[in-house]
């Protein structure tokens, strides 16, 4: 698939093509939001003492994830469900490695699992792995820009970026964290510096998007009279836009 022809105008937080330390709950969400929103192509490497995770993106779409321990989610599923023996799995991996057949196709060819079930399981496994990365508060992260996944390692799964970004942010910061982040900006006016500023967010939030684009009121004024649930949703949207580098914070007149 060709890389999306999108000019990247904004520098991401930190030197994210150099390995950098994760020092706060905001670090990983910011990088994940940035790479998806700006339609980056490459591999995001996350590592801590317990695990390593590689997130492959093409044009901002998460194509696949790989744990550095090499334990593929299909192997875990097939062995746990007793659908294939370890010997059969070794044969599947050999066929994949030596003949260049996609692992997904090699698994389906065994006849032990239907294609729809394979896709459904991988979709769930990748979504959970992607969301778990939002919770990392230590370790290191770097982005290998331009790197692409080999065809034999590609899987026919595309993750819903809008849903996952907003859900991941909610998990990472929590309701109290989101409200505290919003309160720190109470007297500031969020101004979107690109017209597509909220393109990556949940389409169900169009009413809030319209409200956020209104430039003449501060965060505090926007929050006046709103319920806590609305405040949390607004904080989530603003955090995502800020993480993507699409908001400037002004003091107003």
* Widest distance between CA atoms in the chain: 71
**Does the pLDDT of residue 137 top 70, yes or no?**
yes
Hey, what are 20's tokens? 């950098």
Cα–Cα dist 244/19, whole Å: 19
Task: Give tens-digit pLDDT for 189-221.
Answer: 887 766 555 555 555 566 666 677 677 788 888
Q: What is the mean pLDDT of residues 173-199?
A: 80
Q: At residue 14, does pLDDT exceed 60?
A: no
What is the pLDDT confidence band of residue 247, given thresholds at 50, 70 and 90?
confident
pLDDT digits (tens, 9 = 90+) for 85-125: 888 888 888 888 888 888 888 888 888 888 888 888 888 88
Instruction: Provide the pLDDT for residue 187.
Output: 92
What pLDDT is stored for residue 184 in this prediction? 92
At 3, the pLDDT band (50, 70, 90 cuts) reads very low
On average, the pLDDT of the chain sits at 78
Q: What is the pLDDT of residues 53-92, one digit of tens each?
A: 888 888 887 877 887 776 778 888 888 888 888 888 888 8
What is the model's pLDDT at position 199?
Answer: 55
pLDDT at 30 over 60: yes
Q: What is the DSSP string of 67-114?
A: ETT---HHHHHHHHTT-S-HHHHHHHHHHHHHH---HHHHHHHTTSS-
Query: Residue 240's pLDDT band (boundaries 50, 70, 90)?
Result: confident
C-alpha span between 118 and 121 (Å, rounded):
5
* Beta-strand relationship, 189-192 and 42-47: unpaired
Whole-number percent of the chain with pLDDT over 70 = 82
Split at pLDDT 50, 70, 90, the class of 17 is: low
Which residues in 222-241 are b (16+ Cβ under 10 Å) and which e? bbeeeeeeebbbbbbbbbbb
Per domain, the residue ranges of the chain are: 20-159, 174-250
Does the model's pTM come out above 0.75? no
What does the DSSP assignment read for 125-142?
A: HHHHHHHHHTT--SSEEE
pLDDT at 2 over 50: no
The arithmetic mean of pLDDT across residues 158-182, rounded, is 84
């Amino acid at each position: 698939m060709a890389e999306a022809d999108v000019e990247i105008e904004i520098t991401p937080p930190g030197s994210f093509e150099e390995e950098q330390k994760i020092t706060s709950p905001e670090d990983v969400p910011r990088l994940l939001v940035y790479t998806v929103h700006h339609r980056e192509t490459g591999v995001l490497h996350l590592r801590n003492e317990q695990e390593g995770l590689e997130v492959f993106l093409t044009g901002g779409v998460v194509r696949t994830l790989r744990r550095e321990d090499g334990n593929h989610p299909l192997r875990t599923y097939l062995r746990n469900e007793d659908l294939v023996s370890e010997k059969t799995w070794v044969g599947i991996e050999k066929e994949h490695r030596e003949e260049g057949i996609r692992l997904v196709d090699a698994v389906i060819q065994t006849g032990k699992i239907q294609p729809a079930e394979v896709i459904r399981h991988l979709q769930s496994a990748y979504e959970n792995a992607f969301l778990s990365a939002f919770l990392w508060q230590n370790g290191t992260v770097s982005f290998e820009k331009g790197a692409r996944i080999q065809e034999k390692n590609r899987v026919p799964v595309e993750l819903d970026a809008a849903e996952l970004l907003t859900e991941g942010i909610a998990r990472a910061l929590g309701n109290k964290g989101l409200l505290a982040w919003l309160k720190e900006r109470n007297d500031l006016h969020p101004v979107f510096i690109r017209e597509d500023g909220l393109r990556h967010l949940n389409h169900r939030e169009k009413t809030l998007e319209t409200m956020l684009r209104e430039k003449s009121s501060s965060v505090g004024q926007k929050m006046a009279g709103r319920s806590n649930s609305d405040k949390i949703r607004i904080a989530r949207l603003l955090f995502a836009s800020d993480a993507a580098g699409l908001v400037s914070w002004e003091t107003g007149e």
